[in-house]
């Protein structure tokens, strides 16, 4: 145990006495927070209309009988020009984003709509309203959707065959909690899996391949220490460091989520200490799997560059597995939780969905720790191999 602790301290000291390595632990979370926050602001700007904005609309052949359906077109928000003849110049203004809407009603639209009878007039011969807009302009798209609301209301009123969702009653019964779960489970498991792998890769690749490249691995192997203790010491130390890196990224992500999801109310208070504790268990087991796998790759490689190349190929496979979490908890079969990493993505999604199955959780943790144990044994054998350690 003493030797394991010695190796553990050595690895921790190696990282925390190197400013670049310390920055690699902390910087990802800071960058994620800054980048995602800026992305959220840009997204919000692209889909949100300024409250002070005044829409420019031109309407041809408008009938005042339609006023009850367009009460939201108030003078303080909409500058409306009424005409009796069409003019293609307004189409040019619309394409140049100088105008928001150009609407053309047919002559005597109101009466023709009231009197229209498909049996008499023929199907497909109803009056046509042309609503020109430019979806490349956010304000034009917003005005278009608003105006269609008024037209749809008028259409429903004159047909009266049936109406959909009329009145102040709320028809979309999604709760704030359900919306939060839907968004969080779509993004967080995938990103968390990526953060864990990236953190482990950034720390573990250099640990063994770097020492082989510098020639210091010979000094360590020459000490009277069991290879198993060396493997365990490195695995635990690298696991702690990888967790710190992943924690930095995860915190940056969660802090930036409200800005990234601009306009959507997220209620993160639905997650309590229990959910975070379960997440911690899964994260620790998953991180150790990553660390031991990348450590084996690092031990096998002759140089840091070669180790990075192998780890980079594995990151693609990890990404593919992580994407499966975007579909939510897609499997209930306990056998599927015997698959390392895939089981982690599914359990993380279940925890964040507040639908965790304890049996699946326990199977995931046991399987992942089993993989770690096998990895430590393999790493020990590699430390005992002069051919592997000295590239002979």
| Rounded Cα–Cα distance for residues 128 and 309 (Å) | 62
Q: Is the confidence at residue 362, as pLDDT, over 90? A: yes
Rounded mean pLDDT, 112-140: 80
β-strand pairing of 130-133 with 101-104: antiparallel
Predicted pLDDT at 78? 92
Give the chain's radius of gyration (CA, Å).
31
Range from 90-94, 200-204, 268-272, 350-354 that averages highest in pLDDT? 90-94
- Pairwise pLDDT comparison (128 vs 34), residue with the higher score: 128
| Protein fold of 55-159 | D-Maltodextrin-Binding Protein; domain 2 (3.40.190)
**Residue 204: per-residue pLDDT:** 81
Note if the pTM is more than 0.85. Answer: no
Q: What is the CA angle 169-170-171, rounded to 5? A: 110
pLDDT digits (tens, 9 = 90+) for 40-92: 666 566 556 777 889 999 999 999 999 988 988 999 999 999 998 989 899 99
Question: Does the pLDDT value for residue 278 go beyond 60?
Answer: yes
| Residue 60: per-residue pLDDT | 94
> If pLDDT is split at 50, 70 and 90, which confidence band does 330 have?
low
Measured in degrees and rounded to the nearest 5, phi and psi for residue 10 equal -60, -45
The pLDDT of residue 124 is 66
E strand spans, the chain: 55-60, 78-83, 101-104, 130-133
Share of the chain above pLDDT 90, in %: 13
**Does pLDDT of 260 surpass 70?**
no
Residue 55 has what pLDDT? 92
On the question of pLDDT at 285 being above 60, the answer is yes
pLDDT at residue 158 in the model: 78
**pLDDT at 28 exceeding the cut of 80:** no
The yes-or-no verdict on residue 6 having pLDDT over 80 is no
- pLDDT of residue 265 exceeding 80, the answer is no
* Residues above pLDDT 70, as percent of the chain: 85
CB burial of residue 197 (10 Å; 0-12, 13-18, 19+) = buried
Beta-carbon contacts of residue 111 (< 8 Å; ≥ 6 apart): none
> Measured between alpha carbons, how far is 77 from 84 in angstroms, rounded to an integer?
23
Q: Could you tell me the residue ranges of all domains in the chain?
A: 2-43+175-389, 55-159
Using 50, 70 and 90 to split pLDDT, how confident is the model at 239? Answer: confident
Lowest mean pLDDT, pick from 106-115, 188-197, 264-273? 264-273
CA distance 163 to 98: 36
Q: Say what the pLDDT of residue 99 is.
A: 93
Q: Region 253-277: what's the mean pLDDT?
A: 74
Summarize pLDDT for 165-215 with one digit per residue, the tens: 656 666 566 677 777 777 778 778 888 888 888 888 878 887 788 777 777
Q: How far apart (Å, rounded) are the C-alpha atoms in residues 374 and 385? A: 17
The residue count of the chain comes to 392
Spatial contact of 44 and 262, defined as CB atoms under 8 Å apart: yes
Name the helix (H) or strand (E) containing 217: helix 217-222
Question: For all residues of the chain together, what is the average pLDDT?
Answer: 81
pLDDT beyond 60 at 267:
yes
Is the predicted pLDDT of residue 263 greater than 60, yes or no?
Answer: no
pLDDT at 368: 92
Q: Specify the pairing of strand 130-133 against strand 78-83.
A: unpaired
All residues at 6 or more sequence positions from 290 whose CB lies less than 8 Å from its CB, including other chains: 196, 197, 200, 201, 204, 242
Higher-pLDDT residue of 258 and 300 is 300
**Least reliable range by pLDDT among 103-117, 127-141, 199-213, 256-270:** 256-270
**CA separation, residue 283 to residues 85, 170, 334 (Å):** 67, 39, 19
């Amino acid at each position: 145990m003493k030797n394991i602790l010695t190796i553990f301290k050595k690895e921790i000291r190696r990282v925390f006495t190197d400013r670049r390595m310390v920055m690699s632990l902390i910087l990802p979370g800071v960058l994620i927070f800054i980048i995602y926050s800026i992305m959220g602001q840009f997204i919000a700007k692209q889909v949100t209309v300024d409250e002070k904005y005044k829409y420019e609309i031109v309407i041809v052949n408008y009938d005042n009988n339609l006023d009850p359906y367009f009460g939201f077109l108030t003078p303080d928000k909409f500058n409306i020009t009424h005409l009796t003849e069409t003019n293609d110049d307004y189409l040019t203004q619309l394409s140049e984003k100088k105008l928001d809407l150009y609407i053309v009603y047919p002559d005597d639209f109101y009466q023709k709509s009231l009197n229209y009878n498909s049996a008499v007039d023929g199907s497909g011969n109803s009056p046509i309203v042309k609503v020109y807009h430019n979806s490349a302009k956010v304000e034009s798209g917003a005005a278009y959707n608003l105006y269609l609301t008024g037209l749809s209301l008028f259409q429903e009123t004159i047909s009266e065959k049936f109406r959909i969702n009329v009145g102040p009653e709320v028809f979309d019964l999604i709760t704030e909690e359900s919306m939060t779960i839907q968004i969080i489970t779509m993004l967080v498991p995938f990103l968390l899996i990526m953060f864990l792998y990236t953190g482990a890769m950034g720390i573990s690749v250099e640990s063994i391949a770097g020492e082989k490249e510098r020639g210091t691995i010979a000094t360590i192997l020459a000490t009277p220490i069991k290879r198993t203790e060396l493997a365990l010491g490195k695995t635990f130390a690298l696991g702690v460091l990888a967790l710190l890196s992943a924690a930095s990224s995860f915190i940056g992500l969660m802090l930036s989520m409200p800005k990234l999801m601009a306009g959507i109310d997220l209620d993160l208070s639905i997650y309590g200490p229990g959910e975070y504790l379960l997440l911690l268990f899964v994260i620790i087991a998953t991180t150790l799997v990553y660390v031991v796998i990348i450590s084996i790759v690092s031990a096998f490689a002759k140089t840091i560059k070669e180790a990075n190349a192998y780890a980079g190929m594995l990151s693609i496979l990890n990404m593919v597995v992580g994407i499966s979490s975007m579909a939510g908890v897609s499997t209930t079969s306990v056998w599927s939780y015997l698959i390392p990493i895939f089981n982690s993505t599914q359990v993380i999604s279940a925890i964040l969905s507040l639908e965790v199955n304890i049996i699946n959780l326990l199977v995931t943790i046991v399987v992942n720790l089993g993989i770690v144990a096998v990895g430590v044994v393999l790493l020990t054998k590699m430390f005992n191999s002069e051919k592997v350690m000295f590239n002979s």
